[in-house]
Structure 1
Amino acid sequence: MPAGSALAAESISFDRVLQDLAAVRAVDVPFTETRHIAILTKPLILHGTLIYRRPDFLEKKVTAPIHQRFTLNGDQVTLVDAQGEKRTISLDMAPEVSSIVGAYRALLRGDRKALEFNYWTKFSAQNNHWELQLEPKARKLSQVIKSVVIDGVSARITRITTEQANGDRSVMRLQAPAGQGG
């Protein structure tokens, strides 16, 4: 076996994933989100783009079957619905949203302490493929979100699965940004 092959076969660590994610300055990623909602007879499938800019800008643009935009910029959350109606709130006014947003921010900043302060975490990896399971510690948040499972390869998130306490579930698959494979 050539020198370095044993190293290549080792699984990536949680700290390394966090370090790699923290190094990402900006990304625009096409996504497909499948929402399994109890009151619907079939899943709702959304298409769009996720945009991230360090340190704290995150935008989810839904382009099909409806147009909708969810923007997080600093501590302001703005939703533009399919009719073009715009609503902006401060994260201070929505503690549950703030906690969920905080998890994504902590992950993208590589802040393990913040993640583990608010969530029970379980990390597993095989080579460069990894999975992070988050379960809220706060009772109030756990009444809304049962778990979030984030899958990735190296410094790229490939899937986010969110299970709500009521049984509804969302699976967002993120495509590789332009110029990156697989």
Structure 2
Amino acid sequence: MVRLRASLLALSLALCSLPLAAAELNLERLLARFAEQAELRLDYRETRHMEMLGGELENSGQLIFRAPDYLRKEQRRPQPLVLEIEADEARILREGRETRAIALSSQPQLAALIGALRATLAGDADALRARYEADLRGDQDDWTLTLTPRAGTRSGRIEQLRMHGSQARVRRVRIDETGDNWTLLELGPPETGRQSSD
């Protein structure tokens, strides 16, 4: 009996470590892979299309995530700027200026976007489903997660978020808003994989 239990335990552990291709792709399995990563550093490029401007705005830099809810966006171009988010507080830091702090709860659109990104990177399926209808399509090497705000949730002008990725990596996030407004966030490979956070 002891040997059988040991065999079953070994089998269970082996199944947990199998790549996603060995089992059906589902949200819980995908997010469990994200949850294994304590910290990520990603290069990013953000493109925003705003209907009233009739054009696009771009910025780029580095995105840092530390589980469970710390997110830091270090904009390097066109001008240095840091957006640091932890729990419900967002801080905007500009060189030579006083730090500005805002509550995410007072900015529903920003809160919806940050909430979706943090829940995905932290591997928190419950937090994701609390605010969004989630539809996952594709396979381990090319998946698309479509998030539609649930009725009654405060999401500002956001109509839908679409994340594209491979394995436990988000490659691209597109946020569609009301009107002809959208934001595209393209993410490069992480410079730091699994780490233990301080």
Match of 2:75, as an amino acid?
A: V
Q: Is the 8 A contact 1:10 1:127 kept in 2?
A: no
Greater mean alpha carbon deviation, residues 39-48 or residues 146-155: 39-48
Q: Is the 8 A contact 1:123 1:132 kept in 2?
A: yes
Q: Return the alpha-carbon distance in structure 2 between the equivalents of residues 112 and 30 of structure 1.
A: 25
Greater mean alpha carbon deviation, residues 11-20 or residues 153-162: 11-20
1:61 pairs with 2:59: no
Greater mean alpha carbon deviation, residues 85-94 or residues 121-130: 85-94
Q: Is the 8 A contact 2:63 2:73 kept in 1?
A: yes
Residue number in structure 2 paired with 1:134: 147
Q: Compared with structure 1, are the counterparts of its residues 81 and 38 closer, same or farther at alpha carbon in structure 2 (3 Å cutoff)?
A: farther
Residue number in structure 2 paired with 1:113: 126
Residue number in structure 2 paired with 1:31: 44
Alpha-carbon deviations, 1:59-100, whole Å to 9, x = none? 111111122211112222101247634211233444554343
Question: Could you say what the CA RMSD is over the residues aligned between the two structures, in angstroms?
Answer: 2.5
Q: Is the 8 A contact 1:11 1:127 kept in 2?
A: no
Cα deviation for residue 179 of structure 1 reads 7.6
Structure 2 unpaired stretches of 5+: 1-19, 194-198
- 1:1-182 aligned within 5 A: 8=21, 12-81=25-94, 84-139=97-152, 141-178=154-191
Tell me the number of residue pairs that the alignment of Structure 1 and Structure 2 aligns.
174
Q: Percent identity?
A: 29
Q: Is the 8 A contact 1:17 1:154 kept in 2?
A: yes
SS of the aligned residue for 2:31 comes to helix
Structure 1 unpaired stretches of 5+: 1-6
Q: Compared with structure 1, are the counterparts of its residues 41 and 144 closer, same or farther at alpha carbon in structure 2 (3 Å cutoff)?
A: closer
Q: Compared with structure 1, are the counterparts of its residues 11 and 32 closer, same or farther at alpha carbon in structure 2 (3 Å cutoff)?
A: farther
